[in-house]
Chain A
Amino acid sequence: MLLVAVVVLALFLLPWLAGRYPVYLAIQILILAVFSIGFNLLFGYTGLLSFGQAGFFAIGAYGCAKILLAVPNLLLGLVGGVAAAGIAALVLGILSVRHTRIYFSMLTLAFGMMIYSIAWKWRDFTGGDDGLVGIPRAPLEIPGLLSIDLSAMGHYYYVVLVLSLLAIAAMYRLVHSPLGLTLQAIRDSETRAEFAGVPVRKYRLIAFTIAGLYAGLAGALLTPLENTVTPPIAHWSTSAEPVMATLLGGVHTFGGPIVGAFLFFMIKDIIVRYTEYWLIWFGVIVVALVMGFPGGVMSIFTERRLAWRLTWPLISRPGKPAPAQRHDRTSED
């Protein structure tokens, strides 16, 4: 806990310690972190792998954009974006959670790409392939109470930081609540959960909607940063980002997606400074992680049998499945 406090303090001091670009990068990392913990509620805790989260991310972003272009009030834009994403997640969730596993994944892929094609085609509303540009980084305003100008990157950083920390804290409470435990029970054994009287579909829908809300928040926070939204943010390759971040950091720990978001950005940022072939490095990392460390970076620190983990892929005989993941492990912070 002390360490978390130190990190949070450091994050608050960041604009004084570092230049504009690290602050900008930190905003992007926080956004991905929010996106990823939402995703992992669905994947790590409920056992549903969604390849369409970018759809809700985009709805959050476009929703916020349309509002800001009409009424330059940041809170309104954020709330609007999140709400739009949440509604979309609820509607699509009702359809999606009727299935699991492969069908669920493909269904979410389809929905995500449908949103992508709408963003691309509905020129009148979304700006088509050009997207929406010139979106103002509206001030944080509560009429009559306060008005903070956010054109300085540092100021916007604090807004993103506070909101992200609140979102992370809320998720922490959630996964340690009865709801969180129920989701894990559903993940571990749907049948057993049903026998225990749990309305499985309803809980999956709740998880899906919450994941959508988080994705929407992340998207809405991105809009004022870049002043632009374009269709690629709805593409399945964007859906892959929280997947990779979570995989990198660790699926079965709470902090995994956050650590993973940080690693994802730093690794990509550093790789692209040296070579244009960054895809292949990422691919190698993904393959290495799946083969050796399905638990991600966090598992390196939490699994005691590290040496065994490292050598298993080398000594296993083809045909013998690897030992099953211990799904019921969720590490404490």
Chain B
Amino acid sequence: MKTPFAVLSVLFFLTLLPAGPAEAQCQLGVPVIKVGVQGAASGPHSDYGRQIEMGATMAIEEINAAGGIAGCKLEIKFMDDENKAATGVKNARYLVTDWGAHFMVGTDSSGVAMALGPVLAELKRIHFFTHAATHRLTEDLVAGKGIKEIVRVSVPVYQDAIIAALIFKDRMDIKRWANIGADYEYGYVAWNLFKETLKKYRPDVEFVATAWAPFLTLDFSPHISAVMAQKPDAIFATPWAGEAVMLLRQSLIQGVFNDTKAWWQAMGGSVDVLEGISAEIQQDRFKGKLWATARYIHNWPDTPENKAFNERFKKRWVRLPNYSAETTYSAFFIMKAAVEKARSLETAKVIDAMKGMQIKNPGGVRTFRAADQQFVYNVPAGRPVMDAKYPIPVLGDLKVFDAKDYYRHPPFAPVAVTK
């Protein structure tokens, strides 16, 4: 009984011993710039965490090969946040206080992002958010509470909701909308924002049915069937990733694409979704009625930079880059630009250096907006089609939306966050 305590106590204190001898320092006064990266690496959405990791790895490989940031090399450490707030916060604390991260990047889950916000202020480290889509991260925590350690590089939920309204406001033949929604904040906000925006342009539309599917729903048959009972003209759908593919598959066999005029799939332009519906696109099963968008799509913009990025990514990882990969990749280059301008790793100086920044990424030009610390950019929406140049479907018939047309801006009116 006595021995184990002794052994364990010794072990415990051994783990606390400081690291090895001091190392050589680069121009910014540290041996290496450390960046902590988090994403969902377990559970059914684990590909998004993987894509974040792939984007980050490729970014630092390229940056290091070109000499690093102000002559300093980069090192990343990827950790699984399990899409859980508690894990994300614990990892963040470990990465910053123990591992010594100078910056943090990533995070898929809005819940994790919201929990991280105040902790970032405590730890005084900038986190570049590259997927988490909740509007509250920037509208409440940045614009409202002034937590400047939060920087968002990816488009938030505005895209899923407002762009849909902008596209369909001109479809006078579509009057009855139904919702198959993700049964958590993302789904509620997207549907509420969509309704609110569309109503402004089209007071004649009706919202006839809604069905909510919790996270990890495997079978949407009852939800599809429930909304189709109300004979809608079009469907607004927010379950994403694998759930989107299942939802579309199950809708096809219930004849939804015979009886409706359009289907808006949030994040439908994501690589994993396009891969999943590849066969159906080839057979034109969706009859051109499926519309989608994504925070980045591999075939837009049609610039040499984007094409080259796709080539390099495919060569490195044997897959096309998903939006979370591009946003993460771009975050590193934003970091590079800011640190080089500030000539320092200090949080306050780096934040300051981002003011007025405009940077060219594979996804297009991103412009920093100081009011809510988001890097705004234009995004497209379109219909999934096959394109001989790519192994998987792409979004075609693209409509490009200017950031100023769909990004909400201060002062922010609150959005209903409930069903």
Contact = CB atoms under 8 A, between A and B. Distances in A.
Chain B at the A interface: SS class: helix
Interface residues of B, number: 42
B25 interface: no
B86 A17 contact: no
A279 B1 contact: no
Interface stretch (B113-121, B248-256, B333-341): B113-121
A232 B85 contact: yes
Interface stretch (B88-96, B169-177, B234-242, B302-310): B88-96
A276 B4 contact: no
Interface string A253-278: 10100010011001001001100101
A255 B1 contact: yes
A260 to B, nearest CB: 11
A131 interface: yes
Interface in B192-212: none
Interface in A297-333: 297-298, 300-302, 331-333
B150 to A, nearest CB: 13
A128 B114 contact: no
A190 interface: no
Interface string B72-98: 000001111000111001110110011
Contacts of A302: 1
A226 B94 CA distance: 13
A128 B184 contact: yes
Q: How large is the interface on A (under 10, 10 to 19, 20 to 34, 35 or more residues)?
A: 35 or more
Given A128-B185, A276-B80, A134 B41 contact: no
Contacts, number: 111
Nearest to A4: B5
Interface in B91-137: 91, 93-94, 97-98, 110-111, 114-115, 117-119, 134
A228 interface: yes
A269 B80 CA distance: 12
Contacts of B13: 10, 17
Nearest to A28: B90
Contacts of B84: 230, 232
Contact of A227 (B91, B110, B118, B134): B118
The 9 closest A-B pairs by CB, nearest first: A21-B98, A228-B115, A18-B16, A129-B184, A21-B97, A20-B97, A230-B85, A276-B41, A276-B80
Given A124-B418, A297-B4, 6 more contacts: A3-B6, A17-B16, A22-B15, A226-B86, A233-B86, A333-B1
Interface of A: 3-4, 6-7, 10, 17-22, 24, 28, 123-124, 128-131, 133-134, 226-228, 230, 232-233, 253, 255, 259, 262-263, 266, 269, 272-273, 276, 278-279, 297-298, 300-302, 331-333
